[in-house]
């Protein structure tokens, strides 16, 4: 494993790939449901069910992709080939998904379903190797903390700020009043940025593939399940990621509806998401400094409490001052500042879980572990979409119309009530069960380094003995 500091070029080439990557998933997670219900006029309950069921397939797809990456051995390494293939195919699927093919009725429902599922599958092909690179870039804990936030910052710029904060305005500008054209042209822009930025990552980030595991080390499906079952800290990470991401995806799934129909001011959506995007980036920037001064548990407590405060502010604002831009901006800042700190913490936690797995089980399985992260993010998104879809249908949501009070209250529950509950659950799980603190991780890394040195000495001795045998055979 590489214990040296990564070059500036590799650090930021790695991070740059996250801009296009998260612009691509940003348009899906933030606007796809709105596109399906308000542009294609599909049933909200159908869309929510589609999003939910698609993730069950992604559960198999994500874990399977983790196994494929772990068992890939090429002259270009095991990460970059899949990163390149997945990016190109996913960009094409994205454009097809947001293009008007003149379909209607049953054929439109089938097309939307197939394209959404294929988008998720092809995104997995590139997302898993991208995040699986991280543990192999360096084994230096401080360097890893610094590197971990770089792609998260770029991801926030692409997904939260550019797509989330300015997406509606960009689509209005590109579509010139036609919503369908706006979505299609924006998808083209994102696809091009996606290919270019990830292309830079593929060309410049080679350190991770230099630390590739031996070719004899294969990961079977049975072994993968054992990794999940036996790595107790991975199970903790799964619970923490799932609950927090479910909370955030409830917000992202319904926020466009909330600001359009509850507050009655679409401009507030841009204010909320724009300030939220900046706050998330700021949270990621200050994470390494906070991680030096505070324990991970203290940082996670901060990451959990700030969003709860922000959501309470949003609730009060929606009731008493529904068109107050300043309070809406403050609410967005609080929600995503905490999210940024949580993203930084979880990225480091997963990298630590990889090392803990090697220490406890003797195998790293970085691709399997990071594929679980992708799976959980998608599953949490699906749960948010399911709640959103059924709540909208159950409360009588009608596209492009004045909504009933029951519909408005349903939106408030999904946007504010559920996220508060699940953020609190996430913090309780982290505080009670996560044990990989700095002292314990330092001890683990020292043990792994010693084992590596012992293996190197043993390998050198074996090579020496082999040479002596070959020499003896040559003169006999």
**CATH number of the domain bearing residue 174:** 1.20.1250.20
465 lies in some domain: no
469 lies in some domain: no
440 lies in some domain: yes
Comparing CA positions, the residue from 442, 324, 21 lying closest to residue 197 is 21
Comparing CA positions, the residue from 359, 280, 350 lying closest to residue 135 is 350
pLDDT beyond 70 at 2: no
Under 8 Å between Cβ of 16 and 200: yes
pLDDT beyond 90 at 466: no
Under 8 Å between Cβ of 363 and 229: no
Q: How far apart are the first and last CA of the chain?
A: 41
User: Using CA atoms, how far apart are residues 331 and 338, in angstroms rounded to an integer?
Assistant: 11
Comparing CA positions, the residue from 30, 64, 65, 36 lying closest to residue 50 is 36
462 lies in some domain: no
Under 8 Å between Cβ of 272 and 263: no
Under 8 Å between Cβ of 6 and 137: yes
466 lies in some domain: no
pLDDT beyond 60 at 1: no
Q: What would the mean pLDDT of 33-54 be, rounded to a whole number?
A: 91
Q: At what angle do helices 105-132 and 44-70 cross, to 10 degrees?
A: 30
Contacts (Cβ under 8 Å, ≥6 apart) of 184:
95, 98, 99, 100
pLDDT beyond 60 at 211: no
Over the Cα atoms of the chain, what is R_g?
23
467 lies in some domain: no
pLDDT beyond 80 at 384: no
The dihedral built from the CA positions of residue 41, 45, 46 and 48, taken in this order, carries a sign that is positive
Query: Given pLDDT bands bounded at 50, 70 and 90, which one contains residue 216?
Result: very low
Comparing CA positions, the residue from 22, 1, 61, 289 lying closest to residue 154 is 22
3-state DSSP percent of the chain in helix, strand and coil, to 5 = 85, 0, 15
The domain total for the chain is 1
473 lies in some domain: no
* Residue-averaged pLDDT of the chain: 85
pLDDT beyond 80 at 144: no
User: Using CA atoms, how far apart are residues 130 and 14, in angstroms rounded to an integer?
Assistant: 8
161-to-22, 191, 270, 326, 332 alpha-carbon distances in Å:
10, 17, 9, 18, 12
Q: What is the pTM for the complete model shown? A: 0.73
Predicted local distance difference test score (pLDDT) of residue 376? 77
Q: How far is CA 240 from the centre of its chain?
A: 14
Say which range, 137-141, 402-406, 465-469, has the weakest mean pLDDT: 465-469
User: Using CA atoms, how far apart are residues 384 and 372, in angstroms rounded to an integer?
Assistant: 18
Task: Give CA angle at 465 (462, 470), nearest 5°.
Answer: 125
User: Using CA atoms, how far apart are residues 257 and 34, in angstroms rounded to an integer?
Assistant: 8
Q: Which domain holds residue 49?
A: 12-209+218-455
More confident residue, 339 or 207: 339
472 lies in some domain: no
Report the percentage of the chain scoring pLDDT > 90.
Answer: 39
């Amino acid at each position: 494993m590489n214990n040296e500091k990564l070059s500036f070029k590799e650090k930021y080439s790695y991070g740059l790939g996250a801009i296009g990557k998260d612009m691509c998933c940003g348009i899906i997670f933030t606007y796809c449901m709105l596109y399906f219900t308000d542009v294609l006029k599909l049933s909200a309950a159908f869309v929510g069910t589609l999003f939910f069921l698609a993730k069950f397939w992604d559960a198999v797809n994500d874990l399977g992709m983790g196994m494929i990456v772990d068992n890939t051995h090429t002259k270009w390494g095991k990460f970059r080939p899949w990163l390149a293939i997945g990016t190109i195919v996913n960009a094409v699927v994205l454009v097809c998904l947001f293009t008007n093919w003149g379909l209607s009725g049953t054929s439109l429902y089938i097309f939307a379903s197939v394209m959404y599922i294929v988008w998720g599958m092809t995104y997995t092909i590139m997302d898993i190797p991208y995040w699986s690179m991280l543990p192999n870039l360096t084994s230096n804990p401080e360097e890893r903390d610094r590197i971990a936030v770089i792609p998260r910052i770029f991801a926030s710029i692409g997904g939260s700020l550019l797509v989330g904060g300015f997406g509606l305005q960009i689509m209005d500008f590109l579509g010139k009043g036609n919503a369908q054209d706006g979505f299609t042209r924006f998808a083209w822009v994102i696809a091009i940025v996606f290919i270019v930025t990830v292309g830079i990552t593929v060309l410049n980030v080679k350190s991770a593939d230099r630390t590739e595991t031996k070719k004899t080390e294969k990961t079977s499906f049975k072994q993968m399940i054992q990794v999940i079952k036996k790595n107790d800290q991975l199970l903790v990470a799964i619970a923490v990621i799932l609950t927090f991401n479910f909370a955030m995806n409830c917000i992202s799934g319904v926020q466009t509806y909330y600001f359009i129909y509850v507050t009655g001011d679409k401009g507030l959506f841009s204010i909320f998401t724009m300030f939220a995007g900046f706050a998330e980036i700021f949270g990621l920037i200050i994470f390494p400094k906070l991680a030096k001064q505070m324990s991970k548990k203290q940082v996670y407590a901060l990451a959990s409490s700030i969003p709860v405060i922000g959501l309470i502010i949003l609730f009060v604002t929606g009731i008493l001052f529904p068109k107050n831009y300043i309070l809406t901006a403050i609410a967005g800042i609080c929600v995503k500042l905490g999210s940024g700190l949580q993203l930084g913490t979880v990225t480091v936690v997963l990298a630590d879980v990889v090392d803990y797995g090697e220490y406890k089980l003797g195998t790293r399985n970085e691709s399997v572990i990071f594929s679980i992260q992708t799976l959980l993010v998608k599953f949490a998104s699906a749960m948010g979409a399911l709640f959103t879809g059924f709540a909208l249908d159950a409360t009588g949501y009608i596209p492009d119309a004045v909504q009933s009070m029951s519909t408005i209250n349903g939106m408030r529950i999904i946007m504010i009530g559920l996220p508060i509950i699940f953020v609190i659950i996430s913090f309780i799980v982290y505080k009670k069960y996560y044990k990989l603190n700095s002292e314990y991780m330092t001890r683990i890394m020292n043990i792994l380094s010693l084992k590596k040195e012992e293996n190197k000495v043993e390998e050198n001795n074996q090579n020496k003995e082999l040479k002596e045998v070959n020499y003896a055979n040559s003169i006999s």
